[in-house]
Amino acid sequence: MDLELGGSVAVVIGGASGIGLAIARQFAREGADLALLDIAPSVQAMAGEIREQSGVSVHACIVDAAEYDAMCRAAEEVLATFGRCDHVVVPAGIGSGKFGFPFWNLTPADWDRVLRVNIMAPVHAAHAFAPTMIQTRRGSFQFFASVAAQIGSQTDPPYSAAKAAVVNFTQCAAKDLARYQIRVNAISPGMIKTPLNRSVWEAWNRQQPEANRRSYDDWAEEKIRVVSPLGRWQTPEDVAALSVFLASDRARNITGQTLNVDGGQVMHS
């Protein structure tokens, strides 16, 4: 399907790894120029790889999306490079690195960075990039929630709460930006084997008595059998397919939504 994204510029914040990297590759395949932003220095190498493989222009920028000033400087850099910005995708996210069940396994101090990254990165991106998109009266934002946002997941309460806030901010921003024909949606992945998912297992495994500990693959296999009606893992590419669709005009009437790519894990009846 030609999504007609050629000639557009997509900014992927958290594009050096996992889901964000798959999204960046998919936008490049669709012919969009790219700005890859990430706190990890590996973003430079990933940008180089995509540039080489796809032939589109790829600009890399190291930025802590939890810092508003840094995000504003990155936005200026993107606009100076491309002169425009059409789609802003924000998969940057972290967990607490601790097993959060019961919630007092964590201290209140464990919440700070998790909230700062997971909810403030989308907020900072919206503030930094919306003004230029309002001028062109087009484009889209995609923020990242999680199934955890919708079920009060006990695995990592600050993560779950931050993601719920993302769902809510997505609706606020979608309402504000609709009059400028800018759409805002949240994508909610289920279970995807990425460094972030592995860190959830690590936190769980550390907490277990020796006899209960198991390998990531064993833990993952059992977990997916329990939570996923379709009985299989989701992949970064499953999410990337939704992301480019949401950016395209084929999705021109979709805004303010949280779309689950979760094998049916969350179903509202």
Ligand X SMILES: NC(=O)c1ccc[n+]([C@@H]2O[C@H](COP(=O)([O-])OP(=O)(O)OC[C@H]3O[C@@H](n4cnc5c(N)ncnc54)[C@H](O)[C@@H]3O)[C@@H](O)[C@H]2O)c1
195 binds ligand X (CB under 6 A): yes
The contact pattern for ligand X, residues 200-239, with x = CB under 6 A and - = no contact, is ----------------------------------------
Q: Of 17-25, 77-85, 205-213, 242-250, which segment contacts ligand X by CB under 6 A?
A: 17-25
Consecutive H or E run containing 195: helix 195-207
Among 139, 157, 158, 189, indicate the residue that binds ligand X (CB under 6 A).
Answer: 189
65 binds ligand X (CB under 6 A): yes
Q: How far is the CB of 31 from ligand X (least distance, A)?
A: 23
Q: How many residues line the site for ligand X (CB under 6 A)?
A: 27
92 backbone dihedrals φ, ψ, rounded to 5°: -50, 125
Q: What is the 3-state secondary structure (H, E, C) of 62-130?
A: ECCCCCHHHHHHHHHHHHHHHCCCCEEEECCCCCCCCCCCCHHHCCHHHHHHHHHHHCHHHHHHHHHHH
CB closer to ligand X out of 84 and 193: 193
Q: Of 61-69, 133-141, 167-175, 221-229, which segment contacts ligand X by CB under 6 A?
A: 61-69
Instruction: Round to whole Å and give the CA distance between 231 and 233.
Output: 7
Which residues, listed in sequence order, are joined to residue 61 by a DSSP beta bridge? 37
Which of the residues 119 through 148 are near ligand X (CB under 6 A)? 144, 146
Among 40, 115, 134, 266, indicate the residue that binds ligand X (CB under 6 A).
Answer: 40
Which residues, listed in sequence order, are joined to residue 186 by a DSSP beta bridge? 143, 258
Which residues, listed in sequence order, are joined to residue 141 by a DSSP beta bridge? 88, 184
**In 3D, which of 153, 158, 171, 101 has the Cα closest to residue 266?**
153
Could you list the residues that contact ligand X (CB under 6 A)?
A: 14, 16-20, 38-40, 63-66, 91-94, 117, 144, 146, 189, 191-192, 194-197
